[in-house]
Amino acid sequence: MKIPGKPSYGVCPLCETAFPQSQLQAPLTSEPPASRRQIIKAIRAEHPAWTNRDGACQVCWESFRGVVRVLDFVKKFKAAGLRHSEPKDEAP
Ligand SMILES: [Zn+2]
């Protein structure tokens, strides 16, 4: 959908909010390539049809960056051979 004389708008496929097209690509282009790959993978895990050409708004992008950080932490945690323990197991 194009509005003459206005910036072209797109809809963030992740939260279905309308943004100018440029704002849907900005988070992807400003992300360093290494973390961008990770974030794209995380988005695809939840939205299999999503491609980076669809773009994402800053809010969604940031939230998936948060997901990547948590997954990364869990991976390191498991790699260290540590198991999840319930708080009740902790010494008083
Ligand atoms: Zn969004």
State in Å: Cα 54 to ligand 1 middle: 11
* The pLDDT of residue 77: 87
What is the reported pLDDT for 70?
Answer: 93
- The reply to whether 90 falls in a domain is no
Asked if the structure places residue 87 within a domain, the reply is no
- Stated pTM of the model: 0.76
pLDDT digits (tens, 9 = 90+) for 36-79: 999 999 999 999 999 999 999 999 999 999 999 998 999 998 89
The 3-state DSSP class for residue 19 equals strand
Can you give the residue range of the structural domain that contains 75? 9-81
Confidence (pLDDT) at 4: 60
36 occurs within a structural domain = yes
Q: What spacing in Å lies between the alpha carbon of 53 and ligand 1's midpoint?
A: 14
Q: In this structure, is residue 89 part of a structural domain? A: no
Query: Is 2 inside any structural domain?
Result: no
Measured CA distances, 82 to 48, 67, 75, 78, 85 (Å):
31, 20, 10, 6, 9
Query: What is the domain count for the chain?
Result: 1
**Ligand 1: distance of its center to the CA of 14 in Å?**
5
Q: Report the pLDDT value the prediction gives residue 87, as an integer from 0 to 100.
A: 61
